[in-house]
Amino acid sequence: MTNVARTGQALLIAASSMFFAAFTSAMVVRRGLSGDWITPLLPTWVWATLLLGPLASWLIQRGHVRPAMAAGAALVSSQLALLAGLRLFVIGEAFFGVLIAAHAAHAVAGVAAIGRFGARASLFWHFVGALWIYLVFLFEVWA
């Protein structure tokens, strides 16, 4: 990976982190403000999805582009399934929905990037995988 590619991805990661930090802090504040927070219960299989990001990372590092994309696509599919079960008028589910949808969008971009650039886009994908781990912990532990 060239310096330009690495620095570019690092900055994209910085911007994206800020984006998720904004949603996270909005969620923390909103939860504390009114008494209407009910923690959504995600299906237990969500823990299994944690492995998909790192799996794709491991695969792309070894140059297996197609399998990595498949793992990424599996992650996105599982996220769509999670989204289908959420009701936006319940505030907790609305926030989870926003975070999952935002992550899914990043995952789609990540899969496309790996498809187009291969291992040169791996830095961004590592971030996507790590971010999903952060989000699942946010949902399951903090909330």
Partner 1 sequence: MRIFSTDHKVIGKQYIGLALFSVLFGMVLSLIMRFHLVHPDTKVKLFGLLWPDGAPGGQMTPELYLSLMTMHGTIMVFFVLTTAPQSGFGNYFLPLQIGAHDMAFPVLNMLSFWTTALSLLTLLAALIVEGGAPLSGWTAYPPLSGLGKITGPGQGLGQDLWILSIALFCVASLMAAINFIVTVIELRAPDMGYFDMPLTCWGWFVTALISLFAFAVLLAGGILLMLDRNAGTSFFIPGGLIVNDQIQTRSGGSPVLFQHLFWFFGHPEVYIAILPGMGLISTILSVFSGKKVFGYKAMAIALLAIGGLGFVVWGHHMFISGMSPYSSIAFSVLTLAVGVPSAVKTFNWLATLWGGRLRFTAAMHFALGFVSLFITGGITGLILGQPGLDIYFHDTYFVVAHFHLIMGVAAIFAIFAGLHYWFPKMYGRFLHEGLGKLHFYLTFVGVYAVFVPLHFAGFVGNPRRFPDFKEYEFLKSVMPLHIGVTHAAYFLAAAQLIFLFNYFWSQRRGAVAPTNPWGATTREWRDD
Binding site for partner 1 (CB under 8 A): 3-4, 7-8, 11-12, 14-16, 18-19, 21-23, 26, 29-30, 33-37, 88-89, 91, 94, 98, 102
* Minimum CB distance to partner 1, residue 94 (Å): 4
Phi, psi angle pair for 35, to nearest 5°: -85, 20
User: Which residue, 41 or 88, is less far from partner 1 as judged by CB?
Assistant: 88
- Residues 115 and 98: their CA atoms lie apart, in Å, by 26
Distance set, CA 60 to CA 70, 84, 111, 114, 141 (Å): 11, 29, 11, 8, 30
User: Which residue, 53 or 97, is less far from partner 1 as judged by CB?
Assistant: 97
* Minimum CB distance to partner 1, residue 99 (Å): 10
* Minimum CB distance to partner 1, residue 66 (Å): 25
Nearest to 50 by CA among 128, 143, 142: 128
- Residues 126 and 128: their CA atoms lie apart, in Å, by 5
* Minimum CB distance to partner 1, residue 102 (Å): 8
User: Which residue, 21 or 48, is less far from partner 1 as judged by CB?
Assistant: 21
